[in-house]
Structure 1
Amino acid sequence: MLEHGGRLLRAVRQYGIPREQWLDLSSGIAPWPYAIPAIPLEAWARLPETEDGLEQAARTYYGASALLPVAGSQAAIQALPYLRPAGRVGVLAPCYAEHPHAWRRAGHALVELDDAQVEDCLDSLDVLVLVNPNNPTGRRLPRERLLGWHARLARRGGWLLVDEAFMDNTPADSLVDCAARPGLIVLRSFGKFFGLAGVRLGFVMAEPPLLQRLAEALGPWSISGPTRVLGQACFSERSAHPAQIARCAQASQRLAALLEAAGLPAAGGCDLFQYVRTPHAAHLHDFLARRGILVRLFEQPPAVRLGLPASAAHEQRLRQALADYQKESA
């Protein structure tokens, strides 16, 4: 299993700090979860059915003409590499580690690229995979560039796979409205923006024949009945979406300012996290963890990613810990 954020129980055991005393900033998930609607008994008692309102609510929310709900975008990440013959796959690095892992496991040859290398390598690739905004750096690539890359790949039967797990906060940058074009696949995550990662819900936008193949590969009833009710309710609560976008943006800006003041300016980020590159990342991660603050550590390049503090008290706790770190490092 690859390393991920959110492993709070492991930190509890490692550092001997009770769970309730931790400030968990290790995942890029909005710390203000939407209210859970009343779940009718029927949703628990009957097998789930498609087109019960969830797909329509999601198509409206995302502005997509066709989509497939999946049990978290992770399910699609693992299944998609098996829907085409083994080939040469480029991955914009660094990125969410499950992407290269899944393509390698399916027998594809992997090429890790940075932004500047794509133009020269694109015509030798069968698939290009990227995360936008990127995880963990927060880098965003413009629509026009991505659509140009897609057009070049699609002419040869290739794919552009864009993971937009953190895009809900900046929907104008999304490619969802173009996802019905052959060879363009867009992934979206429900849990990050709505603060409900535990429900395991995501969506794949692509041309309908590919969605049908993916649905057959994943099998029936991949989304539970209660999750279908919950997802539809959150998508339909339209008046709450702008408020969540604004709250995340403001909290992310405060987090960036807090890090700057602590001598740890963010090297990147988005409205759900900030990314700090430092050669002392491992020490910073451990220093904070010993004070009950869990952040996400990356080894290559050395960096930490911090999710949004949920309150002024949480921000102050992080500010004080970073001030102590500054003193120790002086």
Structure 2
Amino acid sequence: MLEHGGRLLRAAQRYGIAPADWLDLSTGINPEAWPVPAIPARAWHRLPEDEDGLHAAAREYYGAPEVLAVAGSQAAIQALPRLRAQARVGVLAPGYAEHAHAWRQAGHAVELCESERLLAQSERYDVVVLIHPNNPGGERYERATLLDLHARLAARGGWLLIDEAFIDATPERSLCADSARSGLIVLRSIGKFFGLAGARAGFVCAAPPLLAALRERLGPWTLSGPSRHAVQLALADRDWQARMRGRLLAQGERLGAVLRARGFAPDAGCAYFQWRRCEDAVELHEALARRGILTRLFETPASLRFGLPGDDAAYARLDAALAEIAAARSAA
């Protein structure tokens, strides 16, 4: 399996620092999670039922004509390549590596491309996979650009697959409302914006025939009863959502400012994280880890992703650590 952020217990063992003493910035998950209420006993006792209102709540929240609940967008990422015959697939890079991995595992010919090349040479591919905004590169796209790309692919039976896991803070950029178009598939995640990664919940927005095929592939009960209950309530909590969008956008800017002030300016980012490309990414990752701060290290390209600190104390701790590291480098 591929490496991901969030491996806090492994880091605790490696560096000899107790889990409770870490500042975990290794994921892009909102550190201020939606407050889950008590789960009713029936959610644990009964098998999940499609008529519980979850899909209706998701259609309303995403503005999508049709949706399918899945066990995190990861489940769809792994299953969708199995719904096509062997194809030429262009995948945005650097980006969430599970996309390319899943298409390769299913026997497709995969080519990793930077954003500009992928858009300019889309005729090379049967399927184009984008992450919007990109993780970790932060690329963003205009709606007209994406719809034009989709039209060109769909005209010859192709797909445009857009992973919108990090778009909830800027929902106006989403293509969910257009997802009834044949060949347009939009993935959404509950884990990032709502901070409910442990629920393992996500949604696929697409035309009904594709959703039916995906549902058949995944089988029944893709989402547990407790997760369905919590997610439905979270999707309906518009006051919390409105407040959180503003907070996340402000926190993303604040994190960028902290990094710049200490000489570690990010190259890209969004409301959930900041990303810095640097040849000494391993050394910076290690220096922070020795101080109990976990970041997400990427090998290609050499880079670090910083998730959001959860409060003022966490920001102060990160700032102090960066100041120490910068000072040590200046003295060396």
Instruction: Sort the TM-score into its range (normalised by shorter chain).
Output: over 0.9
1:126-165 matches, within 5 Å, as 126-165=126-165
Following superposition, the deviation at residue 317 of structure 1 comes to 0.2
The whole-number CA distance in structure 2 between the counterparts of 1:55 and 1:91 is 29
Contact 1:187 / 1:203 at 8 angstroms: preserved in 2? yes
1:1-330 matches, within 5 Å, as 1-330=1-330
Give the number of aligned pairs: 330
Aligned residue type for 1:61: Y
Aligned residue type for 1:230: A
Aligned residue type for 1:293: I
Following superposition, the deviation at residue 234 of structure 1 comes to 0.5
The whole-number CA distance in structure 2 between the counterparts of 1:189 and 1:327 is 39
Structure 2 counterpart SS, 1:194: coil
The whole-number CA distance in structure 1 between the counterparts of 2:26 and 2:38 is 30
The whole-number CA distance in structure 2 between the counterparts of 1:102 and 1:181 is 24
The whole-number CA distance in structure 2 between the counterparts of 1:198 and 1:119 is 34
Contact 1:37 / 1:233 at 8 angstroms: preserved in 2? no
Structure 2 counterpart SS, 1:187: strand
More moved, 109-118 vs 228-237: 109-118
The whole-number CA distance in structure 1 between the counterparts of 2:252 and 2:20 is 24
Once the two structures are superposed, residues 66-121 of structure 1 have per-residue CA deviations (whole angstroms, 9 ceiling, x without a partner) of 00000000000000000010110001111100000000000000111112212442
Contact 1:61 / 1:235 at 8 angstroms: preserved in 2? yes
Structure 1 counterpart SS, 2:52: coil
Q: Which runs of 5+ in 1 are unaligned?
A: none
Structure 2 counterpart SS, 1:51: helix
Structure 2 counterpart SS, 1:221: coil
The whole-number CA distance in structure 2 between the counterparts of 1:119 and 1:281 is 29
Once the two structures are superposed, residues 238-268 of structure 1 have per-residue CA deviations (whole angstroms, 9 ceiling, x without a partner) of 1111111111111111100000001111100
Contact 1:277 / 1:302 at 8 angstroms: preserved in 2? yes
Structure 2 counterpart SS, 1:254: helix
Aligned residue type for 1:93: A
More moved, 74-83 vs 130-139: 130-139
Q: Which runs of 5+ in 2 are unaligned?
A: none
Aligned residue type for 1:273: F
Following superposition, the deviation at residue 13 of structure 1 comes to 0.6
Once the two structures are superposed, residues 22-55 of structure 1 have per-residue CA deviations (whole angstroms, 9 ceiling, x without a partner) of 0000000000111112211111111100131111
The whole-number CA distance in structure 2 between the counterparts of 1:47 and 1:145 is 42
Q: TM-score, normalised by structure 1?
A: 0.99
